[in-house]
Amino acid sequence: MRKLAINATPWQLISSGESWALSECANSHFNYLSLTIEDRHYLYAEGQIEFGQDERGVWVLGVFDSSEQIQMFLALHTDNPLKVPALRIESGWPAVQYNEGELESYPTYQGVYRVGFKSYRVTPTESGTLLVEYIDGYKAELLGECDGEVEACLKVYSHFDARTRGCKMC
């Protein structure tokens, strides 16, 4: 595996509370937020939906159980955004809302990642688990039902990586 470097400004802490911390960094195409809540680490991005277009979007790049995983996914995304199956969310930027040291709201790991006719969908169930699906055209494949966001994120990325390994477009 080749050595990846993060092509973005260094992380800067912008706010924190008793059990959370929010940092930001950016490069010429994307703005990034890293939110740590106890043992979960969320990575968000905001940028152009397509390079050269004015329309912008917001994505959850992943949720992890270590800050080192955030660094790896940030390096992958800054190297080539197509290497990270980011879930598009209907949220404005900044995605994380806080006020005077209190965390008010943040997007969780759910949504849709779509490229052409292929997509991943992560949806919450009434029982509190997450359904992870891979959709190819009109066929949907259930990849699993996960107890937590970290497990769902790793399931999506593992399937995505296995599918695209050796892909000349990525």
What are the residue ranges spanned by the domains of the chain? 12-164
User: Has residue 50 got a pLDDT over 70?
Assistant: no
- Residue 167 has a pLDDT of 55
Query: 83 near 61, Cβ under 8 Å?
Result: no
- Residue 90 has a pLDDT of 87
- Residue 118 has a pLDDT of 85
3-state secondary structure of 11: coil
User: Has residue 54 got a pLDDT over 50?
Assistant: yes
- Residue 94 has a pLDDT of 92
Average per-residue pLDDT for the chain: 90
- Residue 71 has a pLDDT of 94
Tokens read off for 75: 């390096």
Tokens read off for 155: 């399931």
Query: 12 near 78, Cβ under 8 Å?
Result: no
Query: Mean pLDDT throughout 47-61?
Result: 80
- Residue 170 has a pLDDT of 47
Query: 145 near 130, Cβ under 8 Å?
Result: yes
User: Has residue 83 got a pLDDT over 90?
Assistant: no
Alpha carbons within 13 A on the beta-carbon side of 107: 26
State percent of the chain over pLDDT 70. 94
Contacts with 103 (C-beta within 8 Å, 6 or more apart), sequence order: 17, 20, 22, 37, 96, 97
| Residue 111 CB neighbour total at 10 angstroms | 20
User: Has residue 128 got a pLDDT over 50?
Assistant: yes
52 confidence band (pLDDT: 50, 70, 90):
low
